[in-house]
Amino acid sequence: MQIHPSSSDEKIAYALLRAVAGTNLMMHGASRLLAGPQNFTAHLAGQFAHSPLPQPLVQGFATGLPPVEGLIGLLLLIGLKTRWALIASLLLMLVLTFGSSLVQDWSAAGTQLMYALVLSLLLFMRRYNTWSLDGCINRAPNEAN
Protein backbone atom coordinates (compact mmCIF):
# COMPACT_ATOMS: atom_id res chain seq x y z
CA MET A 1 0.00 0.00 0.00
CA GLN A 2 1.37 3.37 -1.02
CA ILE A 3 0.90 6.33 1.33
CA HIS A 4 0.41 9.78 -0.17
CA PRO A 5 0.76 12.76 2.11
CA SER A 6 -2.28 14.96 2.25
CA SER A 7 -1.79 18.34 0.68
CA SER A 8 -3.56 19.75 3.73
CA ASP A 9 -0.76 18.29 5.89
CA GLU A 10 1.79 20.07 3.71
CA LYS A 11 -0.14 23.32 4.03
CA ILE A 12 -0.39 22.94 7.81
CA ALA A 13 3.32 22.13 8.07
CA TYR A 14 4.19 25.13 5.92
CA ALA A 15 1.95 27.48 7.92
CA LEU A 16 3.39 26.31 11.23
CA LEU A 17 7.03 26.49 10.07
CA ARG A 18 6.41 29.96 8.63
CA ALA A 19 4.76 31.04 11.89
CA VAL A 20 7.62 29.67 14.01
CA ALA A 21 10.24 31.39 11.84
CA GLY A 22 8.23 34.62 11.88
CA THR A 23 7.73 34.51 15.64
CA ASN A 24 11.44 33.88 16.17
CA LEU A 25 12.48 36.81 14.01
CA MET A 26 9.76 39.10 15.35
CA MET A 27 10.71 38.36 18.95
CA HIS A 28 14.39 39.02 18.23
CA GLY A 29 13.39 42.54 17.21
CA ALA A 30 10.74 43.06 19.87
CA SER A 31 12.90 41.88 22.76
CA ARG A 32 15.73 44.17 21.68
CA LEU A 33 13.36 47.11 21.46
CA LEU A 34 11.75 46.33 24.82
CA ALA A 35 15.11 45.93 26.55
CA GLY A 36 16.08 49.38 25.30
CA PRO A 37 17.59 49.95 21.89
CA GLN A 38 20.64 51.60 23.47
CA ASN A 39 21.49 48.32 25.26
CA PHE A 40 21.58 46.37 22.01
CA THR A 41 23.52 49.14 20.27
CA ALA A 42 26.11 49.15 23.07
CA HIS A 43 26.37 45.35 22.96
CA LEU A 44 26.91 45.27 19.20
CA ALA A 45 29.36 48.19 19.33
CA GLY A 46 31.42 46.28 21.90
CA GLN A 47 31.29 43.09 19.85
CA PHE A 48 32.53 44.93 16.74
CA ALA A 49 34.99 47.26 18.52
CA HIS A 50 38.01 45.48 17.03
CA SER A 51 36.51 44.85 13.60
CA PRO A 52 37.42 46.93 10.55
CA LEU A 53 33.87 48.35 10.43
CA PRO A 54 33.53 51.99 11.49
CA GLN A 55 31.64 52.39 14.78
CA PRO A 56 29.03 54.80 13.29
CA LEU A 57 28.13 52.09 10.75
CA VAL A 58 27.83 49.46 13.48
CA GLN A 59 25.73 51.78 15.65
CA GLY A 60 23.46 52.69 12.73
CA PHE A 61 22.97 49.04 11.88
CA ALA A 62 22.27 48.17 15.52
CA THR A 63 19.67 50.92 15.70
CA GLY A 64 17.87 49.78 12.54
CA LEU A 65 18.09 46.02 13.04
CA PRO A 66 15.44 45.47 15.75
CA PRO A 67 12.56 47.21 13.93
CA VAL A 68 13.53 45.49 10.67
CA GLU A 69 13.60 42.08 12.39
CA GLY A 70 10.28 42.82 14.06
CA LEU A 71 8.56 43.90 10.84
CA ILE A 72 9.88 41.03 8.72
CA GLY A 73 9.00 38.58 11.48
CA LEU A 74 5.46 39.93 11.76
CA LEU A 75 4.96 39.67 8.00
CA LEU A 76 6.11 36.05 8.09
CA LEU A 77 4.00 35.24 11.13
CA ILE A 78 0.78 36.42 9.48
CA GLY A 79 1.80 35.40 5.96
CA LEU A 80 1.56 38.81 4.33
CA LYS A 81 3.91 39.64 1.44
CA THR A 82 5.51 36.29 2.26
CA ARG A 83 7.77 36.11 -0.79
CA TRP A 84 9.26 39.54 -0.15
CA ALA A 85 9.52 38.94 3.59
CA LEU A 86 11.43 35.70 2.96
CA ILE A 87 13.76 37.37 0.47
CA ALA A 88 14.35 40.25 2.90
CA SER A 89 15.00 37.83 5.77
CA LEU A 90 17.49 35.86 3.68
CA LEU A 91 19.31 39.07 2.73
CA LEU A 92 19.32 39.99 6.42
CA MET A 93 20.86 36.59 7.24
CA LEU A 94 23.51 37.26 4.59
CA VAL A 95 24.43 40.56 6.25
CA LEU A 96 24.36 39.03 9.75
CA THR A 97 26.50 36.09 8.62
CA PHE A 98 29.02 38.50 7.11
CA GLY A 99 29.22 40.39 10.40
CA SER A 100 29.49 37.24 12.50
CA SER A 101 32.23 35.90 10.25
CA LEU A 102 34.05 39.22 10.34
CA VAL A 103 34.40 38.96 14.13
CA GLN A 104 34.91 35.19 13.91
CA ASP A 105 31.77 34.35 15.87
CA TRP A 106 31.37 30.95 14.22
CA SER A 107 28.63 29.86 16.59
CA ALA A 108 26.42 32.77 15.52
CA ALA A 109 27.36 32.22 11.87
CA GLY A 110 26.31 28.57 12.16
CA THR A 111 23.00 29.54 13.74
CA GLN A 112 22.40 32.07 10.97
CA LEU A 113 23.12 29.35 8.43
CA MET A 114 20.35 27.25 10.01
CA TYR A 115 17.95 30.21 9.82
CA ALA A 116 18.90 30.67 6.16
CA LEU A 117 18.19 27.01 5.49
CA VAL A 118 14.70 27.22 7.03
CA LEU A 119 13.95 30.50 5.26
CA SER A 120 15.16 29.09 1.93
CA LEU A 121 12.99 26.04 2.42
CA LEU A 122 10.01 28.30 3.09
CA LEU A 123 10.72 30.28 -0.06
CA PHE A 124 11.16 27.10 -2.11
CA MET A 125 7.92 25.57 -0.78
CA ARG A 126 5.87 28.77 -0.97
CA ARG A 127 3.24 27.07 -3.13
CA TYR A 128 1.89 25.64 0.16
CA ASN A 129 1.43 29.11 1.66
CA THR A 130 -2.36 28.97 1.57
CA TRP A 131 -3.00 29.34 5.32
CA SER A 132 -1.91 32.97 5.38
CA LEU A 133 -3.11 36.48 4.63
CA ASP A 134 -1.54 36.11 1.19
CA GLY A 135 -3.64 32.97 0.69
CA CYS A 136 -6.80 34.79 1.77
CA ILE A 137 -6.05 37.74 -0.50
CA ASN A 138 -5.29 35.50 -3.48
CA ARG A 139 -8.48 33.43 -2.94
CA ALA A 140 -10.85 36.40 -2.65
CA PRO A 141 -11.12 37.27 -6.40
CA ASN A 142 -11.52 33.60 -7.33
CA GLU A 143 -14.39 33.13 -4.88
CA ALA A 144 -16.24 36.08 -6.42
CA ASN A 145 -16.25 34.38 -9.86
pLDDT at 82: 98
Burial of 75 (0-12, 13-18, 19+ CB in 10 A): buried
Q: pTM of the full predicted structure?
A: 0.90
d(CA 73, CA 29): 8
pLDDT at 7: 82
* Cα end-to-end span (Å), the chain: 39
C-alpha to C-alpha distances, 63 to 26, 38, 66, 94, 111, nearest whole angstrom: 15, 8, 7, 18, 22
d(CA 94, CA 48): 17
Percentage of residues in the chain having pLDDT higher than 90? 89
| pLDDT of 1 higher than 90 | no
pLDDT at 11: 96
pLDDT digits (tens, 9 = 90+) for 90-126: 999 999 999 999 999 999 999 999 999 999 999 999 9
